[in-house]
Structures are given as structure tokens and as C-alpha cells.
Amino acid sequence: MSESSPRKRLKPLTSADLPPGVWSTQATIRFGHCDPAGIVFTPRYFDILHVVIEDFFGGALALDYYAMAHTRRLGLGYGHAACDFFKPNRMGDRLDVAVSVAHIGQSSYALDLHAMRDGAETVRGHFVTVTTAMETWRPIPIPSDIHAALLAYRERCGAAPA
């Protein structure tokens, strides 16, 4: 086995570090999200952040997330999902979760989610979504409406176009 170099530790952001046009929503930490120690059970963050991504489609992109699968038969599965944890969250905490577009490729795009409590980042999620045809489960190009909406959102947030 080869040794891998340690990953550079990310620094948590503050709300002031986020671009002014970034879309965000609030997520409440619920009893069912927590472990016996009273903090969010690590795998539950993926569920919490996925719900934010569903809301991001309607709230920021003006696209119906549910129609993607049900009507259009478009898969939006994750090719990669990761989180960095800066501070624990507990039941009752209210997180402001902001979404930024990290990358737009041919058949995939990456979103970064910044979960803030009291203006300080507690968790950062990184999700790479691969667009697939549900009939074949094979990657397909990002549909033009999604691609255009992601580009427009990224530009509204002050990021340079790809």
C-alpha cells in the first residue's frame, strides 16, 4: 500500500465569507438526528444536507426536483459525498445552510453546502451529482435547463463563469 499525504485541514468560514447572492435555508436539528451523546449522528448530516439540496432546486434554481425523477426519469445520484466537521451540533440547533456551485462539468456538478450556527460554519458538505438516465443508469449530459440554472446561480453569487 502506498502512503497518501494528509489532506489539508479546511478552515471554517463565517457568514461574512459567503458571497452576498448565495441562497440559503434553515435546517433544524431534530431529536431523530442525534445519537445518545446528544449530538448529530454523523450519517444523518447526509440526510439533512440532501434535503437542503432538494430545496435549493426550487428555491434557487426554480426547478422542480421531484419532477426530475418522476416525470423526466432523470437520476441525480451522488458520485461523491463528503463532509468536514468543525463543531458539533445538538438537538434544537438551527443551522443556516448556504449552497455554492463548486464545479459544473459535462455530466456532473459539485455543490458545497456551508452549515452555519450563529454565523460560524459547523459543517461543510461537498456533493458531486452525476446526471443519469433512469432507464440505463448511465451518465448523460447535464440537461440544458439544469446546466443553465446552475450557471446563472453561480454568476449571481459572483463566481466567474466556467
How does pLDDT run along the chain (162 residues), one tens digit per residue?
445 667 788 999 999 999 989 999 999 999 999 999 999 999 999 999 999 999 999 999 999 999 999 999 999 999 999 999 999 999 999 999 999 999 999 999 999 999 999 999 999 999 999 999 999 999 999 999 999 999 999 999 986 544
> What cell does 140 get?
448523460
How far is Cα 141 from Cα 98, in angstroms, rounded to an integer? 26
What domains are there in the chain, each with its CATH number?
15-156 (3.10.129.10)
Cα-only R_g, the chain: 16
Angle at 109 (CA atoms; ends 108, 115), nearest 5 degrees: 145
Distance CA 159, CA 101 (A): 9
pLDDT of residue 5: 61
Specify the pTM. Answer: 0.92
* Closest alpha carbon to 48 in 10, 22, 85, 11: 85
Where helices occur in the chain by DSSP H, the ranges are 44-59, 65-70, 144-156
Determine the residue type at 62.
Answer: A
Give bridge partners of residue 107 from the DSSP assignment.
none
Give the model's pLDDT for residue 4: 61
